[in-house]
Amino acid sequence: QQPVQSPQAVILREGEDAVINCSSSKALYSVHWYRQKHGEAPVFLMILLKGGEQKGHEKISASFNEKKQQSSLYLTASQLSYSGTYFCGTEGAQKLVFGQGTRLTINP
Amino acid sequence: DSGVTQTPKHLITATGQRVTLRCSPRSGDLSVYWYQQSLDQGLQFLIQYYNGEERAKGNILERFSAQQFPDLHSELNLSSLELGDSALYFCASSVGDGNTIYFGEGSWLTVV
């Protein structure tokens, strides 16, 4: 079952913060986050394997709440290069299913 | 470069025709996934193979089929093509469940 992402789209000014949420009605074994630029392949950001796990790389981090069956991606002090569509993918029943995506636009 | 190779990159074909998309996974990866992405849509899971065996199936149409060969490359066959099949088809690979999956550059299919 496809996870649900919110918001569907967000527009920021450079330097602002954003949070993208991902939730599932099914138990989650892991959460994957990807960013995709238009017409390009999705690029791996991070994977969270355990409930309570938090990861981060530079100004992008994520958390995984296994009990609530949800994950959040945090983008801090956004840069123009952060623009794109963000997908969360959830693993269950041996397949990786992605949400509909959150389109992030960063303006100067 | 993710290490996942897809061919062809672009393909234009007529309705009713059949095409084959090819994918070579990263060296050492046993799992291959196929996803369909229509214009400005999300990534729709089609099918997954692991070491030559079908592992999971998504919303794959009966007109579509796939297989993974002993050398681990995979092919996605699309037949009786319709206009609505026009999309970007991604192949991805991973070592196995719970591991990062890496996407190829995709095959753009246009059905006219």
Q: Is B55 on the interface with A (CB under 8 A)?
A: yes
Dump pLDDT digits (tens) for B71-111. 999 999 999 999 999 999 999 999 987 788 999 999 999 99
- Residue where the block lists tokens 């992008």: A60
B102–A99 C-beta distance less than 8 A: no
User: Taking residues A24-31, what's their average pLDDT?
Assistant: 82
Dump pLDDT digits (tens) for A58-88. 789 999 888 878 899 999 999 999 999 999 9
SS3 B36: strand
Contacts of A34 in chain B (CB under 8 A): 103
Dump pLDDT digits (tens) for B3-27. 999 999 999 999 999 999 999 999 9
B41–A100 C-beta distance less than 8 A: yes
Contacts of A94 in chain B (CB under 8 A): 48, 55-56, 97
Dump pLDDT digits (tens) for A39-65. 899 999 988 887 767 667 778 999 988
- Residue where the block lists tokens 């991604």: B90
> Distance (Å) from the C-alpha of residue A6 to the closest C-alpha of chain B?
14
In 3D space, the residue among A18, A19, A2, A9 whose CA is nearest the CA of residue A72 turns out to be A19
Q: Is B56 on the interface with A (CB under 8 A)?
A: yes
The one-character DSSP state at B26 is P
Amino acid A93: pLDDT: 66
CB A63 within 8 A of CB A53: yes
Q: How far apart are CA B10 and CA B26, in angstroms?
A: 21
Question: Which of B43, B102, B104 lies at the smallest CB-CB distance from A98?
Answer: B43
B58–A97 C-beta distance less than 8 A: yes
Question: In chain B, which residue's Cα lies nearest the Cα of A42?
Answer: B103
